[in-house]
Structure 1
Amino acid sequence: MVSCNSDKKKGEKAIEANPETSTEKTMTTVEKSIENTKWLISSLEGQDLTGEQEIYFILDAETNRVSGKSGCNTFMGTYTIEEGNRISFSELGSTRMMCPDLKINEAEVLSVFELADNFTVSDGTLSLNKAKRAPLAVFKKAVVSNEPIVEKYWKLKTLEGKEVSMTDNQEREVYFTLKGHNNSVTGFAGCNIMQGVYVLEEGNRIRFTNMATTLKACPDVDFNEAEFLKIFEIADNYIIDGDVLSLNVGRRAPLAVFEAIYMH
């Protein structure tokens, strides 16, 4: 389902007849600062959602389109920003995946964009509001691709303390890469291609969600793919030392150690 474009134009300018004395109504720096940024939800109608399934949205300043994830499904639409931190969204289109284990009511998330008519932003926190009532939802700015873990090819070196080498029948080496533009994870798990979503937080915290693989069977490959994929379920922090990356849970010994490989 695809949403309709709004008739309004963001940052529409009012120009006087005399160009020498013209004045323009333009968006403030604060208004512009919310665009081209990934905003992760932290609360919904006062309920803390930190650490739950990833819910986010991004405003594309070039196309005036909003896109995001409401917990299970992705959504899209258009938006308009006007003076005084006013904002409005078109009716949103959404995918229709069924996620019976989802703890969040996606309809409530989407209703935020239906109801919101203004926003406030301060210290990396964005609130979408209706009139002057309490925030409908609060979002935090996501940490993005300037982190050294992002946009690198990480080759697996050790798994649960044991060295890993590529077997004769293995299609390629085990690795993963974090993409900065859409917070996606891609990689190869020993037999199957894998993909998912990641979130980086302060203090080298990391969370992986929606990890999935192809369903190929590789009976001749001597590698415990399930053990490797389990890493992405439980890892909650990382350490980088030069070109060496450790994925960890708590303060335990590393779950897995990777080496950055540079392609020429």
Structure 2
Amino acid sequence: MKQTIKLSILIFSLFFISCKETQKTVETTTKMYSGKYEIKSLHSRQLERKLFFTIDSKETKISGKTDCNTYFGNYVVTNTHKLEIEPLGVTKMFCEDNVMEVESKLFKAFSDTNTFNFDNNMLTFFNKEGDLIIRAYKMTN
């Protein structure tokens, strides 16, 4: 009986310590992603205009402004590199066709995002096929 109690306490203690360390790792990792990003390429093409977005990993929110509209929404990270950006809320300003075209491609890229990678302040989003769809440089925290 004493052996069972000791073993149970040991297992519970190890489980508790393990969960606490995992939580610290997740918190550190998510803080690393928070900040303002400049989009460097969209579907592997350089952009003529600068586009930015902000990630708040504590609140799991993404937001930004194109040359025309403001957008905002939530995202879900389901494992280390799996990312789902939920449908975005967007203002409905009418702008020049070329601006609206880039904006439309950006919003489609966000909705097509399936996985991501973060390395040396560069955040990259990939679709289900593994194609690079957004490459963005982290500017600030």
Distance verdict in 2 for CA 1:32–1:106, change over 3 Å: same
Distance apart, 1:54 and its partner CA? 2.9
Q: Give the paired residue count.
A: 124
Task: Name the CA distance, whole Å, in 2 between partners of 1:62 and 1:28.
Answer: 8
Task: Name the CA distance, whole Å, in 1 between partners of 2:75 and 2:91.
Answer: 19
Q: Residue 132 of structure 2 corresponds to which residue in structure 1?
A: 135
- Point out the structure with max Rg over C-alpha: 1
Distance apart, 1:105 and its partner CA? 2.4
Q: CA RMSD in A?
A: 2.4
For structure 2, the 5+ residue unaligned runs are 1-10
Q: Which has the higher contact order (CA 8 A, sep 6+)?
A: 2
Q: Residue 41 of structure 1 corresponds to which residue in structure 2?
A: 39
Q: Which one of 90, 94, 98 corresponds to residue 94 of structure 1?
A: 90
Distance apart, 1:29 and its partner CA? 4.6
Task: Name the CA distance, whole Å, in 1 between partners of 2:13 and 2:137.
Answer: 42
| Paired AA for residue 75 in structure 2 | Y
Which structure 2 residues correspond to residues 181-260 of structure 1 after superposition, within 5 A? none
Q: Deviations over 1:159-191 (max 9, x none)?
A: xxxxxxxxxxxxxxxxxxxxxxxxxxxxxxxxx
| Percent of paired sites with the same residue | 23
> Helix, strand or coil: the match of 2:59?
coil
2:77 aligned with 1:81, yes or no?
yes
Distance apart, 1:119 and its partner CA? 0.7
Please say if residues 64 and 78 of structure 1, whose CA atoms lie closer than 8 Å, have aligned partners that are also in contact.
Answer: yes
Distance apart, 1:32 and its partner CA? 4.0
| Paired AA for residue 36 in structure 2 | K
2:67 aligned with 1:68, yes or no?
no
Q: Residue 111 of structure 2 corresponds to which residue in structure 1?
A: 114
Q: Which one of 120, 123, 129 corresponds to residue 120 of structure 2?
A: 123
> Helix, strand or coil: the match of 2:67?
coil
> Helix, strand or coil: the match of 1:83?
coil
Distance apart, 1:129 and its partner CA? 0.8
Please say if residues 79 and 87 of structure 1, whose CA atoms lie closer than 8 Å, have aligned partners that are also in contact.
Answer: yes
Please say if residues 127 and 133 of structure 2, whose CA atoms lie closer than 8 Å, have aligned partners that are also in contact.
Answer: yes
| TM-score, length of structure 1 as denominator length | 0.42
Distance apart, 1:121 and its partner CA? 1.6
Q: Deviations over 1:108-149 (max 9, x none)?
A: 10111111121112222111112352211111122x49xxxx
| TM-score, length of structure 2 as denominator length | 0.74
